[in-house]
A and B are shown apart, each in its own frame.
Chain A
Amino acid sequence: MNIEKHTEAIKACRFCFMCRHLSGIGNVTFRESDTPRVRALLLDQVMSNPALLANADTLETLYNSDLSAACRYHCVKHFDENGLLLAAREDVVKAGLAPADVCQVAAEYLARPAAPAISGKGDVLYFIDYNTAAVPAIATAFGKIMKKAGVSYRSAEKGCPGKALKVLGYANEAQKAAREFAAAVNAANVKTIVVSNPAAYDALVHDFPEMGIKLKGKVMHTSEYLLSLKLACRKKAGALYYLESDFLKNYHPDYEFPGKLLSHLGAKRLTFGTNNEESYTCGEGALVLQQLRPVLVKKLACYIEARADHPEKDLLVTASPYTRKQLSTHTKLKVVTLEELTASLI
């Protein structure tokens, strides 16, 4: 079983309570099962009796997580509670135990072409994945910035680098999609690949090398790329709250570019909520949580809204198109992405 690779995390987490305050789902369901501790306890049992993986409640628990990795990040030894869950989901799928709702979401992604449709000219390729495409204002803002900067670029629309499938536990299918995606992108022969969605960034920068897939061109999140353009601003961003992305904060702890871009834009960053440890992303790490657990996503959104200083007035900025979409759908919060903010200032 894949979870055996994570025995260390199972043994560490199964009796540990030290990061429960950061269990995003646990904080809205109040359920013990939605914590790294209980997930590890359940998987500990599965290690000695694999038949227990078929338990419907265990399966529900495994797919409830927001995969924010806030707990792993907080953990003094960074035990990989997140990787454990992904491995468990892989075991679930391999054993043919994927619950119907999971199969349904996976089927949607399997039906989509992995290779993106590429158009335009230039050395820069801008990848507009499904989450980014769901908020058209983001690509529009990016286009406006590029025009202003005088850089021509190509767009890679839709397409699937396999991240959603990976998160659902469909490792082989994810790998196949990743290869097809990479082949199409490599054929474009660009110098720079820019992505707005931090999940896509993680796929390209972390998952691809892990699968042995090489991409031609340097991958950058838009924050890094926009900063490199050294744009002149008409006005300063002023006071705002930046909601950290799970992928850019907890998965890539040294990713400094969103902060640097905000400084460049003249932002005065205020602390959102009460701390900078909790995930305020509506389950960005789980990628398809909205399709899988819409009720939980709504709860996560309300949890964030309840922590705003002035919910209808404050300007919230996110690096994540997913978070932008969920917060705009479920709350009254005023939220824009880094691209939208940048476009409004230049």
Chain B
Amino acid sequence: MLIERKSYLFEMIRNELADAVGAEFVNCADSDKMGHSIDYYWIPELWHDRGKETKKPDFVVHPGSAEEVSKVLKIANQYQIPVTTWGGGSGSQGGALPVYGGIILDTKRMNKVLQIDEQSLSVTCETGIIARHLEWEVNKAGYSTMHLPASIACATIGGFLAHRGTGVLSTKWGKIEDMVMSLEVVTPTGEIIQTLPVPRHASGPDLTMLFLGSEGTLGVITKVTLKIHPQPEARKFRAFIFEDMHTAMSAGADLMRSRLRPCAVRLYDEEETSHHVKRVLGLDRKGAYLVFGFDGQEKIVDLEMEYALQIMSRYKAEDLGSKGGELWWENKYKFFYPGYMFHLPQAFGTLDTVADFAHIEKVYQAMKDVVKTNFPQARFIGHFSHWYEWGCMLYARFIFEGEHVPADAEEAVALYNRVWDLAIRAAIANGGVINEHHGVGLKLGRLMKELYGDGFKVLEGIKKTLDPNNIMNPGKMGFKGV
């Protein structure tokens, strides 16, 4: 932001914002500005770790309703101040960072569950609610959203909508975009709009889908109606150790092609099995760990499991039984806690992508080769987490141990970006895409034009129309900066 903190214009804007959301909810405290200058993206973490100044917002506002969001956006348009929407800040792509200063619009005050509709099986809530809190509320009524991501405790529902996020049960219950019925959105110019009430229709193009994945660049999603489901009577898991990842991938793909409906399938490559899976689950095996599960009515679950086991029996694999599978389910979030998760001084990144079964192994190999060849000092591990009828998601990671990370912050960032550029280009060249569920943000914006080609002009046109003053999250997702 170009306005000086000490200027009277700054105070005038602060007053206007206070008028819009209440003085208590306009915050300029250094501690909060610090908190909003670092999300889950490795680069600001490194920047902080190296004692460098991270980019801070000028104001942090906490609107309590769509109307208040609208007022804030109108003020921002008036003074042409960048607005960055912040949910939980758990995004790994730098999407919520206020890289041009300005206003952080923190959504967490909009945290109400408005209705649980037991006739249609849906829940309507404000989007600043933390996913865990929503799930708890829905559980109390006897249901589940079935959206159980590893960041359930820290990310908001709005963040997942903005990123097209995914939970561990996505293989049966879908990504967040499959769960949405309808949205309320405040557009960058402050109009409050409601998308159509149902997700299937032939009433023109789908506005709901336009906003899903828009990462705060096309407006603020303020309300959502999501599908909910009765808690399943049973949820059962089974795990196997395959000799190698390729064989396990064939078995996993067979499972999906059989059109059985597992709620989760996860396959870890040899490297991740022998290190990460061992560390977290205490399972000491060589080979590739494949786990899957079914949920629903117990009889149906048992029958599906029986068919799934028939598929597995065609392969040479060690059956770890239901114990080996439950172990993963019980510890599914443990992978992400300090003590188990990668952390500075390591440099690491999740190169997640998705492709169909015809391409996914090529994508994996190409990414692995490019990392190994260009950065022999780095480790490359991967697992396949979210499976579809036609393919699956690759959750690959590169890791540099601390001694291989340049001490100089700028050099470390350059190294980091080079890995991303090479690895993501390798994915795209082999049938993958930039990302599957973490989004684009600041991290990968520069690659959007390469991915979309001329198609990106369509997105730019939409952005320009909706956000003529370019106030919403400028410089993200490949869109123009300030």
**B128-150 interface with A by 8 A CB criterion:** 128, 130, 132-133, 136-137, 139-140
| Chain B residues with CB under 8 A of A20 | 88, 130, 153-154
- Give how many A residues have a beta carbon under 8 Å from the other chain's beta carbons: 36
Q: Check B337 against A75 for contact (C-beta < 8 Å).
A: yes
A141 to B239, CA, bound (A): 56
In the complex, which residue of chain A has the Cβ closest to the Cβ of B45?
A15
Q: Check A76 against B334 for contact (C-beta < 8 Å).
A: yes
A55 to B31, CA, bound (A): 9
A20 to B39, CA, bound (A): 13
Q: Check B133 against A274 for contact (C-beta < 8 Å).
A: yes
Contact pick for A21, options B29, B60, B130, CB 8 Å: B130
Query: Smallest Cβ distance from B125 to chain A, in angstroms?
Result: 13
| Chain B residues with CB under 8 A of A12 | 338-339, 343
Query: Smallest Cβ distance from A29 to chain B, in angstroms?
Result: 9
A37 interface contact, C-beta 8 A = yes
| Chain A residues with CB under 8 A of B36 | 32
**A50-65 interface with B by 8 A CB criterion:** 55, 57-58, 60-61
B30 interface contact, C-beta 8 A = yes
| Chain A residues with CB under 8 A of B334 | 76
Q: Check B35 against A35 for contact (C-beta < 8 Å).
A: yes
Query: Smallest Cβ distance from A269 to chain B, in angstroms?
Result: 15
| Chain A residues with CB under 8 A of B155 | 17
| Chain A residues with CB under 8 A of B336 | 18
Query: Smallest Cβ distance from B415 to chain A, in angstroms?
Result: 19
- Give how many B residues have a beta carbon under 8 Å from the other chain's beta carbons: 45
In the complex, which residue of chain B has the Cβ closest to the Cβ of A74?
B153
Q: Check B32 against A31 for contact (C-beta < 8 Å).
A: yes
Contact pick for B48, options A13, A18, A41, A77, CB 8 Å: A41
**B282-341 interface with A by 8 A CB criterion:** 333-334, 336-340
A11 interface contact, C-beta 8 A = yes
A274 to B133, CA, bound (A): 8
Q: Check B38 against A15 for contact (C-beta < 8 Å).
A: yes
A177 to B34, CA, bound (A): 37
A82 to B420, CA, bound (A): 37
A228 interface contact, C-beta 8 A = no
Given contacts A21-B133, A57-B30, contact A38 B338 (CB under 8 A): no
Query: Smallest Cβ distance from A119 to chain B, in angstroms?
Result: 47
Contact pick for A11, options B25, B29, B106, B343, CB 8 Å: B343
Q: Check A17 against B137 for contact (C-beta < 8 Å).
A: no
Q: Check A17 against B133 for contact (C-beta < 8 Å).
A: no
The total number of A-B Cβ pairs within 8 Å is 110
A42 interface contact, C-beta 8 A = yes
Given contacts A48-B51, A75-B337, contact A18 B153 (CB under 8 A): yes
Given contacts A57-B30, A76-B337, A76-B339, contact A275 B136 (CB under 8 A): yes
Q: Pick from A32, A33, A77, A275 the residue with the most CB of B within 10 Å.
A: A32
Contact pick for B35, options A38, A77, A275, CB 8 Å: A38
A77 to B339, CA, bound (A): 7
| Chain A residues with CB under 8 A of B109 | 30
B62 interface contact, C-beta 8 A = yes
| Chain A residues with CB under 8 A of B38 | 15, 41
Q: Check A274 against B338 for contact (C-beta < 8 Å).
A: no
B375 interface contact, C-beta 8 A = no
Query: Smallest Cβ distance from B140 to chain A, in angstroms?
Result: 5
B151 interface contact, C-beta 8 A = yes
In the complex, which residue of chain A has the Cβ closest to the Cβ of B40?
A17
| Chain B residues with CB under 8 A of A13 | 338
B9 interface contact, C-beta 8 A = no
B236 interface contact, C-beta 8 A = no
Contact pick for A16, options B34, B111, B140, B338, CB 8 Å: B338
| Chain A residues with CB under 8 A of B151 | 17
Q: Pick from B40, B137, B339 the residue with the most CB of A within 10 Å.
A: B339
A79 interface contact, C-beta 8 A = yes
**B197-243 interface with A by 8 A CB criterion:** none
A205 interface contact, C-beta 8 A = no
Q: Check A77 against B337 for contact (C-beta < 8 Å).
A: yes
A44 interface contact, C-beta 8 A = yes
Q: Check A15 against B344 for contact (C-beta < 8 Å).
A: yes
| Chain A residues with CB under 8 A of B469 | none
Q: Check A60 against B29 for contact (C-beta < 8 Å).
A: yes
Given contacts A12-B339, A75-B337, A274-B140, contact A32 B130 (CB under 8 A): no
| Chain B residues with CB under 8 A of A308 | none
**A6-40 interface with B by 8 A CB criterion:** 11-22, 30-33, 35, 37-38
Q: Check B62 against A30 for contact (C-beta < 8 Å).
A: yes
Given contacts A32-B32, A37-B35, A42-B31, contact A16 B108 (CB under 8 A): no
Q: Check B338 against A33 for contact (C-beta < 8 Å).
A: no
Q: Check B139 against A33 for contact (C-beta < 8 Å).
A: no
| Chain A residues with CB under 8 A of B153 | 17-22
Chain A positions 243 through 282: 1 when the CB is less than 8 Å from some CB of chain B, otherwise 0: 0000000000000000000000000000100110000000
A75 to B338, CA, bound (A): 9
In the complex, which residue of chain A has the Cβ closest to the Cβ of B130?
A21
| Chain A residues with CB under 8 A of B343 | 11-12, 15
Chain B positions 58 through 78: 1 when the CB is less than 8 Å from some CB of chain A, otherwise 0: 001010000000000000000
B84 interface contact, C-beta 8 A = no
Identify 11 residue pairs between A and B in the complex whose beta-carbon atoms are under 8 Å apart, listed by A's number.
Answer: A12-B343, A15-B45, A17-B151, A20-B154, A30-B62, A30-B111, A31-B29, A32-B35, A33-B35, A44-B48, A77-B338
B residues at A contact (CB < 8 Å): 25, 27, 29-32, 34-36, 38, 40, 45, 48, 51, 60, 62, 86, 88-90, 106, 108-109, 111, 128, 130, 132-133, 136-137, 139-140, 151, 153-155, 333-334, 336-340, 343-344
* CB-based closest 5 A-B pairs: A32-B35, A17-B154, A274-B136, A12-B338, A38-B35
A residues at B contact (CB < 8 Å): 11-22, 30-33, 35, 37-38, 41-42, 44-45, 48, 55, 57-58, 60-61, 75-77, 79, 271, 274-275
- 5 further A-B contacts with Cβ under 8 Å, apart from A17-B90, A20-B153, A31-B32, are A30-B62, A33-B29, A57-B30, A58-B31, A75-B337
